[in-house]
Structure 1
Amino acid sequence: MQLADFLKDYVSLTQDAIAVAYRGADSPEATLMYINESYTRLFGYAADDVVGGPASIAHGKDSWRDYNANVIAKFRSGEKQVNTELRCVRADGTRFWASILVFLIEDTGSGGFYTCATFRDISGLKKREAEAAKALEDRDRVLAEQDRMYRELLSTQKRMLSAMNAYPDPFVIYDKDMRLVLSNTAYQKSMSTTPEVITPGMHIRDVLIEAIDCGLIPVPEQGREAFLDDLLSASRVAKKSEDVELADDIHHRMLRSKAENGDWVIIRLDITELVRQRRNAEELQARLLAAIGAYPAPFCIYDGNSELVAWNQSYAEFLTDDPAEIYRGMSLQAALQVGVRNRRYAAAIGREEEWLKEIQTSNEMATPVEDIELAGDIHHRVMRSRSTNGDLVILRLDTTELVRQRRALQQSQERLISAINAFPDPFAIYDKDLNLMTWNPAFVASLTDNPDDICRGMHVTEVLRLAVYNGHVPAARGREEDWLREYTTPHLAIDGVEEFEFDNDNHYRIMRSRAENGELLVLRLNITEAVRQRRALEQYANRLEAANHEITHKALHDQLTGLGNRRYLSEKFQQLSARRQTEGGELAALHIDLDRFKQINDTIGHAAGDHVLIDVANRIRSNVRDGDVIARIGGDEFVILLWVPEGTSRPEALAGALLRDLSKPSCFEGRECRFGASIGVARTPLAEEGDLLTNSDVALYKAKRAGRGQVAIFDRTDIDEMRQTKQLADDILRGLEDREFLPHYQPQVDARTGLVVGIEALARWHHPVEGVLAPERFLSVAGDLNVVADIDRMIFEKAIIECEASFKGLDSLPSLSFNVSANRIQFEEIEKIGQIAAGYSGDVAFELLETIFLEEESDAFLMQLDHLRELGISLEVDDFGSGRASVVALQRIAPDQLKIDRRLITPIETGNNAARLVQSIIDIGHALDIGVTAEGVETAEQARILADLGAQRLQGYYFSKPLCLEQLMTYLKRNRSSLRLA
């Protein structure tokens, strides 16, 4: 009776499965004496089937042995009840975990004892414990991987800093607020005599003040503050390139570029030597021009198009009394007309038009030397020569006196001899047999130091031999007899003009003429100064031509790769177009853009990026043919222009070959730089010739959109699609101006009470023609236009205003949540956001896409989030489970709410894998003290399951689709039980 009473009392106190067994003093095993109905439901055995049988029926062999060892040992130690967990076996053979509580009652009469055991199924608990353990293992693995990545990043950063400090020119990075982020040693030394004071965080104004105080930057007369304001003005900062002068005549070229994150990257190249060379060249040019201007005789230079390039004052005064009539670029014909109009050409007076026509049709302008008579019995000798660049150099010598002397000599022999002797240049007369008859002292001095060496009757060859062996003919030195044989030809006695070089770099113009009696008159005019000036001018012209050639080449070519630039591409395009017009055939354009190139710059450095660009240029060169045009038109953009015969597929074959070749990595300093390429191809006649480059760019965009690493061929549908995209982009910008983007609202309900506790504001475009458009219709194009933040801002401001006005009659205001782009959090003024949010009396939350904090998980970003919290704005993580967020990332962000992605909600059913997955996410949220919202709820069953799993808020079409404000208010009034009205 004692056992029966015990069972009756115990069974009434518990709903657990109960089994009672008895083991006699000499029995090897206990026998089942009693089981309750809960035991039958748990194990599947009826009482008639097992009572009287062995108590081990509910255990496997291993678990029974463990059970006995554990329980009996504790009973022997004096315990009256034992708690244990073991795997048990049901009647159908399935196993499960059970919590077992065992009592021991001794039978004092027989020496045996009764055991009473209660069983409770804890399989679910065990499973959750295992899942929790697995989650902890996953967390530890993720933490270890993040630690490894951090160490690698730190190592890369150290290498980059070392490379920067090894760079000889100043290099610095300032953030968007103009505070110093990073600089190399050269920059620190250029800004301070104590470089260690230049530290991160300094504002650029403070750095400039330090440089000024150290005397490294000279301050102009305007004063330091005005000078600093000018240096930091928006117009100066926006300059990509600027030359600046530092102390001690040091000159730097400052190159600025702005990164996508707003940082300013500044490189200063030392151009001191270049500036000094340019200054010297300008001084030399000024001296040359001054020398030309000081030359007393008229001097001018006309280019290959017969347009005036340079002249001196004498030339202008020769043509006109008003020098303003002479200007750079005027034609030779126009200059002649000015001279004729001012009556400077005696032969033209009274027959001006006729004379000009004669000059145009004659070859006189090509004559190297010409004697002309001007008004007032003025005579000039015009000397013309062509430089290697095609310029016509004209030097006028005033020969008026010479002509008058010759006239006088013809009148009187004595006067002639007197004039000859007085003439400063050598003069001689030979008879018809070329024997010396008459000469002047200058002639003797030009041949020998001993006048006795010259005698009447000497043959011209003896005169020449005397000059040669006295060393007066540089061309004959060391080969005197050979030179004499070559020079003394029958043509020597023919009338003409010859320029001849004598010793000591003296130059003469030898003028020979035959008199009527056969005598040969030889006059040598000293043109040394003119020759030297002409030589200087030619050298200067050659230098100008070489410099022009170099400048032209640089203007048409990319300095890094040596390929053509956009201007070069344009010129070559015109040439290929002309070839197509004359030879037929077609033109094709390949537009190449490197994939993953930015990652190389960001991770390995710009030196690696430059190496890759040079390597890519060489690979492209190796694949093209002579006559093909290659140009680099952007950072990592290249264009190839081809002329191809009609019907050939070479452009497509070349694109395929380049795609394969550019997929191979490039090695830089022992590291592989992996990249790829996307290629767009357009060709005539499918593409209009004038639109060929634009259409190849469209094809490139199509290749990128298809997944990169591909070749895309332009066709007509691309134009239609581009036009549609352009039309949509124009519509979006117009819609922003007309404020057509309005908020729609979707309620969020409490999972336990069904009360509306929150509302998410969603963007909708109220298009004037197409009606209300969801974000999928316009969001991608808005992203390309970089106006997503503007749309977010418009929705935010509108929703705050109209919800504050409309919800005044409610007991408690639901929270308002908004989708927000990363740009607004990073760049917009947070204080302005807080001021707008303060306009709503309820709670305001920002929903961050999971990818935002994966990509922007920096300390600066976290500080922005903390600032939002300080302004009373809650943070929610949207679409959780759709990206790669880690638990560690959640801990760093510490959001107030976690929204499970709708794609994880759709498949859930009671007990299935989807439900267990959602349960795990909810458990993570609870463990991190983060509220959980499930969106995409479409059925009552889903709502029930999610409430059981522990989600706090539910959102989806089961409750309501997104509503305009009027529909929302109707919804709330119709569902008063969900949100009470005052």
Structure 2
Amino acid sequence: MTLSVITLAALLDVSVLSVSVPMLAIGLWAILQWRTNRHALKTRITLTVAINTTWMMALYVIADLHQGQYMLEVHMFYFINSGLVVAYACWRSVVTTLVIALVHHGLLSFTVPSLVWPAETYSWIHFWNHAGLGSLNCALGVTIAAVISRHLEHMEHQASRDELTSLLNRRGIHVALRQALLDENAVLHVLVMDLDEFKSINDTAGHAAGDTVLRQTAKELSRLAPQNAAIGRSGGDEFVVILRDAQWHEIDSFVDSVLEWSRLPFLYDGRELRFGLSIGIASSALRVRSPDQLFAEADMALYRAKKPGSNKAQVFSEELREQARQRKTIADEIVRGLERDEFIPFFQTQHDPLQGTVIGLEALARWNHPTRGLIGPECFIEIATEISKVADIDAVILQKAVQHVVEWENAGIHASKLAVNVSCSRLRDPKLADTILQLPEMRAQLALEFVETILIDKLTDHDQWMIDWLRGRNIRIEIDDFGTGRASLVALTRLRPDAIKIDRELVAPTIKDPDQQLVLRAIIEMANGLGVETTAEGVETHEQANLLRKLGASALQGYFFNRPFPPEEILEHLPYTRDVAC
């Protein structure tokens, strides 16, 4: 800027010394302040005043040497100068200084117009007006802009913080990771942590207890993590820790400490609360430099960590990436399969244990995949549940199965019962009642088989109302896979189902394991005592069938009688009878 003024003086035939000496003195002083602390507000104001004064001195010297012929140019350069000065400090200074300058000149124009717009000559008071008050204008503009900037920085800080835990929020975590990735030599490890059984704490102890758990988790992570770690809560019960240039033994130590802490009971209001932690770990050492990709990989690892149960950690690998790709492919194909009507029912017969006659049918879901052929539910139900499509599959199988039974009844072929597997989440599906009401009437009694993971001890009033509504429409309520989960006894005493289906894992070892026979006997006798029928599935041998008949099972189902058949083939087996007794 000094060189610009010196050049201007030379072009107008003015002595360079008369302009450059004061400018150099002020410029050296300003540069000294700049080198001391260039980011301080004091330095910015000092530079602003110095530059403004230097400019105005040079311009007025030029105007003085030319008998005031350049007063218009002086005003023009004054505003140009102000714009350059304030633009250095902050773009907001341009606005604030402009407002201050306009107000200042406006007031002087109305009170003492000769100070602003001299008619024939000029006075050095104009210099003091523009140099002094102009510097004040610029200084005020920079100060106001700095205050606004600090306020915005404070708001920015607050916007990147989680209100409950004071950790970084999702936005702050992404910003921190993005900035850290700018260093190409840095190796970053992203740990995504999810609290297991947190929803149960909210449901049983209240949201205040849940908030306390979240705050305590934040506190423990801050205590256990390395000093250079970035820690945040990305939402809900999920936390993120970003470690920079950490060795794997340090990561292992940190993870072990966190998992060990999470196994301890948490005291709240005189009661013990228990929860676990699952951790997914991703590393930029795999040549990943995208924040979104790192988080995606950590989420994949977290998903795998939660599979065996709580309090596990999993490091992302290429194998997990391939599995995630396959799951995504299957998920997309499930959606297309529903659109293309590819899900169909297969039917397996249920038999009387004494006579061996067919007393019912169970409809089983199959996926008629266009390229992979017929696929069983074990290959798609889990993924369908994750993408909230299992209810749609249930509805399709239910509607098609009932339609087939109606067609058979019209042809003179009858089955006394049709059992259909239904996801327990359907009890809270508002479409369930409409689906049932739209089914065609049939002589066979409809039975809905709910898996016992329904957690009967947590049935809501609406769930119970829906069960009662189903029973009111002569629909049987049965529990599938009985004996493999925690709700078995509660289900029998609270729900009082019409029947339970004993899981094949209990049936398979009965012949060789006398203790397993005692378990089966206890289940069947308990159910019979409560007036609940029992169906044993997975019956594959004559010995199993005969044993279950002696133990008092109400119905038998399995490959000993026949495998599941498509609708066009099951008709041949409906009158089928097979001797069970020795």
Query: TM > 0.5 between the two?
Result: yes
Candidates 255, 258, 266, aligned match of 1:658: 258
Amino acid at match of 1:935: E
Q: How do residues 202-241 of structure 1 correspond to structure 2 at under 5 angstroms?
A: none
Residues 519-539 of structure 1: CA distance to partner in whole angstroms, max 9, x if unpaired?
A: xxxxxx9x6xx9998888677
Distance 1:711 1:962, change over 3 A: same
- Give yes or no for contact 1:679–1:700 (8 Å, CA) kept in 2: yes
Q: Who is 1:863 aligned against? A: 465
Q: Who is 1:896 aligned against? A: 498
Q: How do residues 483-522 of structure 1 correspond to structure 2 at under 5 angstroms?
A: none
Q: 1:736 aligns to what SS in structure 2? A: helix
For 1:835 and 1:404, how far apart are their aligned partners in 2? 89
Q: How do residues 631-642 of structure 1 correspond to structure 2 at under 5 angstroms?
A: 631-642=232-243
Candidates 370, 382, 397, aligned match of 1:795: 397
Q: Who is 1:598 aligned against? A: 199
Amino acid at match of 1:571: V
Q: 1:883 aligns to what SS in structure 2? A: coil
Q: Deviation at 1:955?
A: 1.4
State the structure with more CA Rg: 1
Q: Who is 2:114 aligned against? A: 401
For 1:793 and 1:675, how far apart are their aligned partners in 2? 35
Q: Who is 1:563 aligned against? A: 167
Distance 1:374 1:748, change over 3 A: farther
TM-score, scaled relative to structure 1: 0.47
Task: Report which of the two has the higher share of helix.
Answer: 2
For 2:206 and 2:384, how far apart are their aligned partners in 1? 32
Q: Deviation at 1:609?
A: 2.2
Distance 1:535 1:887, change over 3 A: same
For 1:795 and 1:563, how far apart are their aligned partners in 2? 48
Q: Who is 2:324 aligned against? A: 722
In the alignment, structure 1 residue 854 sits paired with structure 2 residue 436:
no
In the alignment, structure 1 residue 810 sits paired with structure 2 residue 495:
no
In the alignment, structure 1 residue 551 sits paired with structure 2 residue 155:
yes
Greater Cα offset, 904-913 or 783-792:
904-913
Q: How do residues 704-723 of structure 1 correspond to structure 2 at under 5 angstroms?
A: 704-723=306-325
Q: 1:807 aligns to what SS in structure 2? A: helix
Q: 1:957 aligns to what SS in structure 2? A: coil
Q: How do residues 357-756 of structure 1 correspond to structure 2 at under 5 angstroms?
A: 366-368=51-53, 370=56, 380=75, 382=78, 384=82, 390=90, 391-392=93-94, 393=97, 395=101, 397=105, 401-402=114-115, 541=145, 543-579=147-183, 581=184, 584-644=185-245, 649-690=249-290, 691-756=293-358
For 1:585 and 1:796, how far apart are their aligned partners in 2? 56
For 2:217 and 2:479, how far apart are their aligned partners in 1? 42
Distance 1:694 1:841, change over 3 A: same
Candidates 371, 374, 377, aligned match of 1:769: 371
Amino acid at match of 1:698: M
Q: Deviation at 1:868?
A: 0.6
Q: Who is 1:170 aligned against? A: none
- Give yes or no for contact 2:282–2:316 (8 Å, CA) kept in 1: yes
Q: Deviation at 1:597?
A: 2.4
For 1:849 and 1:555, how far apart are their aligned partners in 2? 45
For 2:144 and 2:528, how far apart are their aligned partners in 1? 84
For 1:634 and 1:402, how far apart are their aligned partners in 2? 62
In the alignment, structure 1 residue 873 sits paired with structure 2 residue 475:
yes
Distance 1:913 1:711, change over 3 A: closer
- Give yes or no for contact 2:403–2:440 (8 Å, CA) kept in 1: no
Q: How do residues 17-416 of structure 1 correspond to structure 2 at under 5 angstroms?
A: 366-368=51-53, 370=56, 380=75, 382=78, 384=82, 390=90, 391-392=93-94, 393=97, 395=101, 397=105, 401-402=114-115
Distance 1:790 1:856, change over 3 A: farther
Residues 685-734 of structure 1: CA distance to partner in whole angstroms, max 9, x if unpaired?
A: 22522222221222222221232212211121111111111112122222
Distance 1:846 1:913, change over 3 A: same
For 2:441 and 2:484, how far apart are their aligned partners in 1? 33
For 2:493 and 2:274, how far apart are their aligned partners in 1? 34
Distance 1:887 1:855, change over 3 A: closer
Give unpaired runs (5+ residues) of structure 2. 1-10, 12-26, 28-46
Root mean square deviation, CA, Å: 3.8
Q: 2:190 aligns to what SS in structure 1? A: strand
- Give yes or no for contact 1:908–1:942 (8 Å, CA) kept in 2: yes
In the alignment, structure 1 residue 933 sits paired with structure 2 residue 535:
yes
Q: Deviation at 1:574?
A: 2.7
Distance 1:751 1:836, change over 3 A: farther
Q: Deviation at 1:633?
A: 1.1
Q: Who is 2:24 aligned against? A: none
Q: Deviation at 1:867?
A: 0.5
Aligned residues with identical type, % of pairs = 33
Residues 603-641 of structure 1: CA distance to partner in whole angstroms, max 9, x if unpaired?
A: 322222222222222222223344432222121222222
Amino acid at match of 1:824: R
Q: 1:594 aligns to what SS in structure 2? A: strand
Residues 176-208 of structure 1: CA distance to partner in whole angstroms, max 9, x if unpaired?
A: xxxxxxxxxxxxxxxxxxxxxxxxxxxxxxxxx
For 2:215 and 2:334, how far apart are their aligned partners in 1? 40
Q: Deviation at 1:953?
A: 2.0
Amino acid at match of 1:572: A
For 1:618 and 1:388, how far apart are their aligned partners in 2? 42
For 1:856 and 1:404, how far apart are their aligned partners in 2? 84
For 1:621 and 1:705, how far apart are their aligned partners in 2? 27
- Give yes or no for contact 1:905–1:936 (8 Å, CA) kept in 2: yes
Q: Who is 2:426 aligned against? A: 824
Distance 1:724 1:379, change over 3 A: closer
